Amino acid sequence: MKKGLIIWSILIYNLCFLKGYSQVNEDKTGAWYMYFWNTNIKQSSFGFQGDIQYRNWNIIGDLEQLLLRGGFTFNPSKSDVKFTLGYANVTSGEYGDSKDINIENRISRNFNSSNDRKTVLFNAQIQVRTKICRKPKF
């Protein structure tokens, strides 16, 4: 009980009282919108997964990054592992009024494994990416 209370106290303190330094302009609020999905084909070890992530330097309109990612999954029966072969398109923008963008295409291979022990969930991920980039404009 005490251990859980200490962990929650540290987490709440970090979320509420420590200032983050991830923005280029600390006076502005950015945004990061995310949607993750996965599905399995009925009666099969195969499926699909993906995500959409949209990050802005401000609330909406000043693009930092748009990531569209999808993949084909394989989950062997009676195991806690999942293999994914996927593709992603990443469009990155520059802070401010600039309309310059950089486009990347990524091919990824993932290996996920998890073990649920009564009190702790162990999760491991190995990811290999191949980036295919055009010459950046900025």
pLDDT in tens, 57-114: 877 777 888 999 999 999 988 888 889 999 999 988 887 777 788 888 988 888 888 7
Tell whether 93 is covered by a domain.
Answer: yes
| pLDDT value, residue 47 | 94
Which one, of 72, 69, 68, 70, lies nearest residue 40 by Cα? 72
Q: What are phi and psi of 135, to 5 degrees?
A: -65, 125
Q: Is the pLDDT of residue 125 over 80?
A: no
Look at the chain and report how many structural domains it folds into.
1
Residue 100's domain comprises 22-133
pLDDT in tens, 13-36: 766 665 555 556 666 677 889 999
Tell whether 12 is covered by a domain.
Answer: no
Specify whether the backbone of 61 is left (phi greater than 0), alpha (psi in -120 to 50) or beta.
left
Tell whether 8 is covered by a domain.
Answer: no
Q: Could you give the CA distance from residue 67 to residue 50 in angstroms, rounded to a whole number?
A: 10
